[in-house]
Amino acid sequence: MSWKEAYIKQAKSDFMIYKEFSKTRKPICQQLHYLQMATEKLAKSYLCSLQNGHPKITHFALVKFLKICKRQPDIRAKLGFENKHTRFSSYIDSLLPIADMIEQLAPVGTKLDRPNPEYPWISNKEVIPPIDYDFSNFKDKHIQMSKFLKFIHKLIDVS
């Protein structure tokens, strides 16, 4: 199995867990944790193919990947936008704000000072576990999230 195939397989598994957790209304931090991991691995699977090997170790691959997507005719065709360059470009642009929010969920190094769905962080001298945080910035983004999730679902299917 290549690095690319392995990343896709793991991304599929993470996304399945996300879907199950959202369907059964598990805590939002657990849902977002799996969604962040799935999207990161899916993005990295495409970065593998560009670099012909293991992708760079970074959590921040998703937004970069989406921007690369806009220039990839094969991905455009697989998603059903063949010969519709402008529409595809606008569509990808519409996903970037949510993609950025999800990318920013990744914990960074040892300096845990911002909300993330995996580890406790410190804010105003108070230690907060993800389970006690409501991630309200995601809560009223139904249509944006639906569009983004549809994109991830489709891309996983065709990868």
Query: Which residue lies nearer to other proteins by CB, 16 or 127?
Result: 16
C-beta separation of 88 from 107 below 8 A: no
Query: Which residue lies nearer to other proteins by CB, 67 or 153?
Result: 153
Q: What Rg, from alpha-carbon coordinates, does the chain have?
A: 16
C-beta separation of 149 from 22 below 8 A: no
Residue type, 154: K
Residue 35 C-beta: closest distance to other proteins, Å: 10
Residue 144 C-beta: closest distance to other proteins, Å: 7
For residue 92, what are its two tokens? 């990808």
Residue 45 C-beta: closest distance to other proteins, Å: 17
- Chain residues binding other proteins by CB under 8 A are 19, 22-23, 25, 28, 79-81, 87, 90-91, 94, 136, 139-140, 142-147, 149-151, 153-155, 157-158
Q: How far is 59 from 111, CA to CA, in rounded Å?
A: 15
